[in-house]
Amino acid sequence: AAAAAAAAGADAAGGETVDRKSAVVKGGKEAAAAAEEGAGRAAFHARLFALLLRYKSIQGYGFQASVGPDVFHALRASLGAGFECFASPLNTFFGRFCGAFPDVDAPFGSSGDFFALPAAALKRGCFQANPPFVGAVMTSMASRIEALLSAAEADQQPLSFAVFVPGWTDEPAWAAMKGSSFLTAHFVVAAGDHGYCDGAAHQRKDAFRASLYDTGVFVLQSSRAAASAVGR
């Protein structure tokens, strides 16, 4: 009986030791998880601060305005659009986009600069393009879109671009897109009939701003895209 009692006591002591070790291990894991979560939160806040400071410093939220959600829904339904060529983490709708500042945009999903994005990433699909209303940028955009569509045509790839630019008909970009052989649709929306999502919507009560100009809408497509069910 004495031996049995001693054995039982030893088992109990051993069990307590195991429980203490388990508690220590569990506590260590919880502490490590808490530390990792804290570090992740701190990194997120640092990246968010850098992002907000960058866009605040350029003092040009108008350059970051975007078309509204209804337009994006229509583009996705009618053309299968799912990528924005000119956006930011503050105004992207699809969540797949190119941004102006890869260093601060990348942690929030940016694929980089549209003009530096490899052509292989733009060889098929439908892309929305609403560039900054700067003549040189729009001209470079029109030139790249034309080159991409020419490559898609040669490779028989379905490629489309839905482009939104101000109604500045004397701009080279306007003439280039209107005269493109890939143009399948084009219309102008009067300034008084529409607006844009403000680039500073994250800090404004009203997310929209009235458009100062007419907006020209261009749909440019390769033959295969135009002939597809989505393209029609």
For residue 110, the 8-state DSSP code is B
**For residue 169, what are the contacts with CB-CB under 8 A and spacing of at least 6?**
175, 216
The tens digit of pLDDT for each residue in 95-118 reads 899 998 888 888 888 999 999 999
Provide the pLDDT for residue 66. Answer: 80
Tell me if residue 218 falls in helix, strand or coil.
strand
In three-state form (DSSP H/G/I as H, E/B as E, the rest C), the secondary structure along 36-84 is: HHHHHHHHHHHHHHHHHHHHHHCCCHHHHCECCHHHHHHHHHHHCCCEE
Provide the pLDDT for residue 74. Answer: 95
**Environment class of 193 (CB within 10 Å of its CB; exposed 0-12, middle 13-18, buried 19+):** exposed
More confident residue, 211 or 157: 157
pLDDT cut 90: percent of the chain above it:
50
Q: What is the mean pLDDT of residues 210-214?
A: 85
Tell me the pLDDT of the chain averaged across its residues. Answer: 84
Pair of tokens at residue 215: 């907006």
Q: What is the mean pLDDT of residues 111-137?
A: 95
More confident residue, 122 or 3: 122
Q: Taking 90 as the threshold, does the pLDDT of residue 8 lie above it?
A: no
pLDDT tier for residue 232 given thresholds of 50, 70 and 90: very low
Structure-token match 């105004």, residue found:
91
The tens digit of pLDDT for each residue in 139-193 reads 999 999 999 999 999 999 999 999 999 999 999 999 999 999 999 999 999 998 8
Single-letter amino acid code for the residue at 137: V
157 within 8 A of 113, measured Cβ to Cβ: no
77 within 8 A of 87, measured Cβ to Cβ: no
Q: What angle do CA 148, 70, 136 make, to 5 degrees?
A: 40
pLDDT cut 70: percent of the chain above it:
74
CA distances, 81 to each of 38, 67, 73, 110, 221 (Å): 37, 13, 9, 17, 12
Rounded to two decimals, what is the model's pTM? 0.75
